[in-house]
Chain A
Amino acid sequence: MSTPPRETIQKQIQQDWANREYIEVITGSIKKITDFLNSFDMSCRSRLATLNEKLTSLERKIDYLEACVTKGETLT
């Protein structure tokens, strides 16, 4: 089996390194996307939770105020 010429092997290896670098960039980007998505998710959830809390307390206050203002039914 004849060995390929030295230049060919060199070329293939260089090409392989270039491909690996390319793949590395892609996977790095995927990681970045994942990190962003995770942080985005966390941030959104915490903000939504805060909002939810505020909304709940507001709803309770409005409940109370409505009960104060409304002429509720009496016992008799």
Chain B
Amino acid sequence: MPLPKRCVEPVHVSRGTVPERLAVPSELEAVTNGTLANTVRQLSSLSKHAEDMFGELTREATSLADRTNVLQARIDRLAIKVTQLDSGVEEVSLQDIQMRKAFRSARSFQQQLFSRSTMPSAMLATYARCDRPPPLERLNEFRDDGRDARKFYTDPDYFFELWRREMLQDTERIQHDRGKKVRQPRSNNAEGRGTRRVRVPHSTRDRQKAEVVTRGEHIMSSNQLCRYNIQQYRPDPLYQTTTVPDGGYRAPASRPASQPARPNSIEIENQQNRTPRLTGNGHIVGEESPYGPVEPIYGGSIAGTPRRARPSIPPPAPPAPLQPDSPQHHTPTRSSLPPPPPPPEGSTSPPAMNGASPPHRTALDAHLDQMHAVIGMMSVEALPPRAPTPPPAPPAPPPPEEERPRPPSPASLLRGASALKPPRPAADPAPDPRSDLLKAIREGIKLRKVDKRGEDSAGKYDTLRGVPALHDVASIIARRVAVEFSDTSSDNDSDSDDSAQWTDSRA
């Protein structure tokens, strides 16, 4: 039903113009006079409406004029600034460009456009004439469920609630689905090469922290956790089939029920990577403990370079001979890259570590393989200042007992031999890029914090408007957009990062 905005009254100008009780000499004149009087009333009503209308138009035009003036001033300022710009004189360092904060528009969503406050006055007057709803709120005290009794009669927020609930559920579902989708293709790809499967760590820092806190326990009780793994992760058959050939101890994966999959598998990779290396070099098992302190240093990088166990299965493309060269090639470029952009979800820091870690680690491998145990210990002592920086920082997990007496395989021997080729310089260029990398990681973490702060401020803004966060259209839509955007971006990121990692490890 169309609701007229303004009604010119009276509508019936000639009705009731003849006075009933009063005798009039001429009824025709009475009708004429009454009609004329009502017409004049109509005119007055019309002029009132016209004044109201012109007032609204004037207000709107004035606000537009104000905005235009402000805009004109800004344009003038901008014009002056642009004319003053001189690329020949001004020096812009690359560092500054990279470190510049992302532009964030201060514009806000317009919302609540059809609320009571924006209702035109004429319609408000019409509205005020309506009958009030029955005072059902007085029955609230008799309700047990705490719901407002009047909402059963009339609820202006009903459709918004409906929409809000649907949108939020939709968002959750999308997040959930995307999470699944991201995981599945990985596990498919992981078939045939173990590297990709474990490299997927989409672990947030919190997870990693929690893992750091509780890590010692699962590693120790690997047998027990093996049982957990079988129970918990049966639906992922690819994972188990690929892990079984590695000796069956990775399947334990030392995962508790509540822990995310990847970081734990990373730990296990730690153990695997270390043992072949030592045995292959002939420094035997007893050197586990001297190298123990090294682990926290390279934990982050190791986390990004998951490999299969060398002894049992030679990887498809073991990059052993070329690896010692890689630090010189890749790490500087990596370190010169800007800190990773802050995607909302926790996919940022793992890619950063993934991308840059293998060269460091291989450099370290070469270094350690080449050196004697004592020298290795000395180098370890030299390194610790950089130690605490990597965020995941897994402490040295003592490898399972049955792992140690494994004989050196041809692959590991080959690796050890190849690692002998590059002399010490491989270790020397490493520190600087690594510190840069760690710096970059730190920057990345900072960036994420900044992003969170922005979200918080957005929430505050909403609450400042009197609408709690996620209870208004703008924030809901913003969250939805953020979710979709983050999913696509994280996909892209991880994909590109995977490929980069793959080429890195091959190079």
Contact = CB atoms under 8 A, between A and B. Distances in A.
Interface in A38-59: 41, 44-45, 48, 51-52, 55, 58-59
A23 B105 contact: no
A13 B28 contact: yes
B101 A34 contact: no
A73 interface: yes
A66 B8 CA distance: 50
Interface string B88-124: 0000000010011101011100000000000000000
A75 B78 contact: no
Interface residues of B, number: 42
Contacts of B213: none
Contacts of B46: 30, 33-34, 37
A65 interface: yes
Contacts, number: 93
Interface in B34-85: 35-36, 39, 42-43, 46, 49-50, 53, 57, 60-61, 64, 67-68, 71, 74-75, 78, 81-82, 85
B446 A20 contact: no
Interface in A1-60: 12-13, 15-16, 19-20, 23, 26-27, 30, 33-34, 37, 41, 44-45, 48, 51-52, 55, 58-60
A6 to B, nearest CB: 16
Contacts of A76: 99
Contact of A37 (B49, B82, B103, B106): B49
B340 to A, nearest CB: 12
Given A30-B8, A55-B71, A69-B82, A23 B49 contact: no
A28 to B, nearest CB: 11
B373 interface: no
Interface of B: 8, 13, 26, 28-29, 31-32, 35-36, 39, 42-43, 46, 49-50, 53, 57, 60-61, 64, 67-68, 71, 74-75, 78, 81-82, 85, 96, 99-101, 103, 105-107, 339, 443, 446-447, 450
